[in-house]
Structure formats: C-alpha cells, structure tokens
Amino acid sequence: MKFTALKKIIALTGTVAILASVAACGTSSNSSGSSKDDGKTEILVWSWDSTLARTVKDFEAANPNIKVKVTNAGTNKTEYTALNNAISAGKGAPDLVQIEYYALPEYQIRDEIEDLSQFGADKFSDFYTPGTWASVNLDGGVYALPMDSGPMAWFYNKDVFDKAGVDPTQVKTWDDFYDAAKKVRATGSYITSDSGDAGFFDSMTWLAGAKPFSTGSDGQSVTINLSGDSKVKSFIDFWQKMIDDDLIDTKTAGWTDDWNKGLNDGSIASLLTGAWMPYNLLSGAPDGEGKWRITQMPTADGSETNAENGGSSLALVKTDDKAKAEAAYKFAEYACHNAKGIKTRVNGGAFPADNDTLKSDDFLNMTALTDSDGKAHEYFGGQKFNEELARAAANVSTGYKFLPFEVYARGVFGDDAGAAYTDKSITLAKGVQAWEKNLKDYASQQGYTVK
C-alpha cells in the first residue's frame, strides 16, 4: 500500500526532524546509472556495524563485477533521518541500508523498501530464528534479511551476586528478581539500571506477553492499547515497585561514561539486555573480565519465554534500476544468508540470526572473546556463553508488533514517561498513559484510524 504524496510528506517530517542536507553522511546519488566506467555495478550500503564491511573483500572476489561501498551514516535516529531525507529528495539514498527491526515497519508501510520475495527470500523461513524471521515478515512479504539478533539475556557480575548470596541461575520469576535486588542493594550495588529506555520497555512488555500495538492489513489503521493490556500493566507494576524501593539505578543513563564505570566497578551489577552485549562489556567494562556470567531472563511467571532487544536487518531501498537491485540483493544474501559471510561477521562480534550458526559446535563451545588486537579474553570466566545465548534465541516468542512510526514513539518516550523514573510524585503508569495519548494523537495526525 502506498501513501498519498501529502501523507508521505507528513509521515517523513513527523517521524524525525528534517535535516538540511545529507551530504555530511558521505552519500552519493544512486540514480545516475548502475555501472561505473570499468563496467562494474557499484552499490552503496549504509551500515553502522563494523562487521559488515569485513565481508566486502571476499564478496567482491567472488563477484568481480560488483563494487561495494559501505558507509556509516550514523546509528538509529541519525541514520533514519538521513534516509528519510534522501528518499524524500529522490537522490542520495543507499542501495542497501541497515535498519533495526523496530524501525522496519514504517519503511514497509510507506512502500520505500523492496519485498525480497522476488529474489527468493521467502524460502528462507527455516534458516532464521523465529523472532528475527517474524520481524522481517511484514504484510505477507519479506522486506529485509535478518542481519543479527538480540534475544534478551541476563548478564551479571558473579562477584557481586556471590557477595549478596544470590545465584542468578535460580532466579526464575520477577518476584525472585525483586528479592535478589534487595540483597544486591544491601551490598551497596544496584541490580541493574534504567533511566527510561523505550526499547527496554518494549522488550520487557514483549517478554511479559503483551501485544499493545498492531497495524491493520490495509496499513490505514493502528491499534494502540498500553493502558488496557494486562501484560503491560504487569511489567509497569513490577518496575514501579523496583523504582519505589530504590532497587534500580534510575539516574545513570545507558551508554554513558558513568554507566560503563558502574559496570566496570560492579556498582551496576547486572543487565537485562540483548545477546549483542558481550563485546560491549569487554570494551566498556574491562575490569569485569572473569567476573561476569550469563543466564536466562527472569519472567513474570517463571516460564522460559523470551523477547528481542535490538537486532537489525539489511533492506533494499526501492529502485527502478534492476542491475543495482540484483547486485544489492546479492550482497545482502552473502552477508546475511551465506555461511562464509555470516561466519566473517560472527567472528567479528555479531550475534547471529540463523539457526545453523546457533547450533554449530564452534559457536556453542566458545569461551573467549577476541579483541581487535587478536587477544583472547575469557570475560565470562570460562563459561560457554553462547550456549546460554543460543537458548535465549530459541525461546523468543513471536507475535509482538511494532508501530509503523516506532522511531517517533521511542523518541518521545522519555518526554512522556521519563520523569517517572526519578520523580516519586509521577508514577510509571501515568507516564505511560501520557505516552499512549501522544502516540494516539500522532497517529491521528498522520492519517491513521486509531483503534
């Protein structure tokens, strides 16, 4: 389904602030023809993931008529802003673009990315994990290839938990987690941190079994039901209790120097996050080497289910240039579906989205992380950490849906609900209600029928 011209402009400008130019991203027009003077088809790929560039050399050797240029156009909202601008301007867009699973639906709804079923990608359902495959299957099509995944897992500093007298492998429910948090807090540490992360909120409600969002099959209607979903409420009640009792660090924002310092010195004793975290811990909290371990997520009722937190795909931007489209898909298939391409990326630190890698002995038996200098680090104390992460991936439930304007939704979460994390006069329930109203108002402004 295509938007009208007016509706498309509104959606683009409303999702993120329009930048004056995308020249700073180092992009070049992809509308001037598909071949260079040397007869090669050149494709432009936008990706912030350093492991993708590592696949280019072998791909080009096997495909001498294709030249691949990988450019980092920024992460998250920065890249999406530049992409929206380029698509709107009709020039400067990449041929392939890395898009996180949560952001993919809005590009599909606006008919700005190709359905890869035309290249045979619809035959790959058994190749990928259920969670990642569900994330790229939208409205009956396959709108990207899963690039990596982020099944949630519990990363914890064993030294701190030993001091607290808690074995995280025996913490199964959210009630258990609350009790463990009190014991960890008694040591002077926080069990985890959260200053109001929208992605974390989505993942934890997904984990609880919530389904607050959906988009009609015609792309014209959306359902937004945060206040009325009992599973959303179960997480809000749990997290509010943690906030009220000062059991989580709500002041330290994620991905800051202070956050890394807390992970490094143990004052933030664990993280509930995606399986892509190991190499971030190695670089951000080097003093934690040998102290950290991984186990499964505690859940509301103790059942072994899971959710995704992060992960991304490679999508093919709409084009009339058949040669470029075929070349771009060929590279995406190599990086995301070819065993050699995937191995190159996994060896560089990417967490796989495919079942074959997750079941391979080489992957499951890993006990060390290798840094950029080639030095091996048994960061998780000799644990076969990928065994836990592969188990986490197998447990991801399907059925959770993102909004067709999820980038906007996550961008305003802090404005509406953020104060609830630090101001005891504002409850998380009230903050989420304000967020819900914002989302409904925004959806109406974009021309959706809101249910």
| Percent of the residues in the chain that have a pLDDT greater than 90, as a whole number | 89
pLDDT at 4: 35
Residue 15 predicted with pLDDT over 70: no
pLDDT at 218: 85
Cα distance between residue 286 and residue 398, in whole Å: 35
Contacts of 136 (CB under 8 A, 6+ apart): 101, 104, 142, 143, 144, 145, 146, 313
pTM (two decimals) = 0.91
Q: What value does the mean pLDDT take over residues 286-302?
A: 98
pLDDT at 339: 97
pLDDT, one tens digit per residue, over 209-260 is 999 999 998 889 999 999 999 999 999 999 999 999 999 999 999 999 999 9
Residue 101 carries which DSSP code?
Answer: G
pLDDT category, 24, cuts 50, 70, 90?
very low
A 10 A CB-CB count for 423 gives: 11
pLDDT at 34: 52
User: What's the mean pLDDT when you consider all of the chain?
Assistant: 92
Contacts of 364 (CB under 8 A, 6+ apart): 358, 384, 386, 387, 390
pLDDT at 36: 57
pLDDT at 217: 86
Residue 32 predicted with pLDDT over 90: no
Q: What value does the mean pLDDT take over residues 266-276?
A: 98
pLDDT at 28: 36
Q: What value does the mean pLDDT take over residues 36-55?
A: 91
pLDDT, one tens digit per residue, over 369-427 is 999 899 999 999 999 999 999 999 999 999 999 999 999 999 999 999 999 999 999 99
Label residue 255 exposed, middle or buried (CB < 10 Å: 0-12, 13-18, 19+).
exposed
Q: What value does the mean pLDDT take over residues 19-27?
A: 30
pLDDT, one tens digit per residue, over 304-341 is 999 999 999 999 999 999 999 999 999 999 999 999 99
Tokens of 354: 């495919």
Q: What value does the mean pLDDT take over residues 5-28?
A: 32
- Give domain 41-149+310-359's CATH superfamily: Periplasmic binding protein-like II (3.40.190.10)
Domain with CATH 3.40.190.10 in the chain: 41-149+310-359, 152-307+372-450
Q: Which has the closest alpha carbon to 157: 148, 166, 149? A: 166
Judge whether 213 and 102 are in contact, CB under 8 Å.
no
Judge whether 25 and 309 are in contact, CB under 8 Å.
no
Residue 171 carries which DSSP code?
Answer: -
Which residue type is seen at 215?
A: T
Can you list the positions of beta strands (E) in 112-151? 137-138, 141-142, 145-146
Give residue for tokens 């990326």.
Answer: 345
CATH number of 152-307+372-450: 3.40.190.10
Contacts of 111 (CB under 8 A, 6+ apart): 1, 2, 3, 318
Residue 352 carries which DSSP code?
Answer: P
Distances (CA, A) of 283 to 238, 263, 430: 31, 11, 37
Q: What value does the mean pLDDT take over residues 157-162?
A: 98
Residue 37 predicted with pLDDT over 70: no
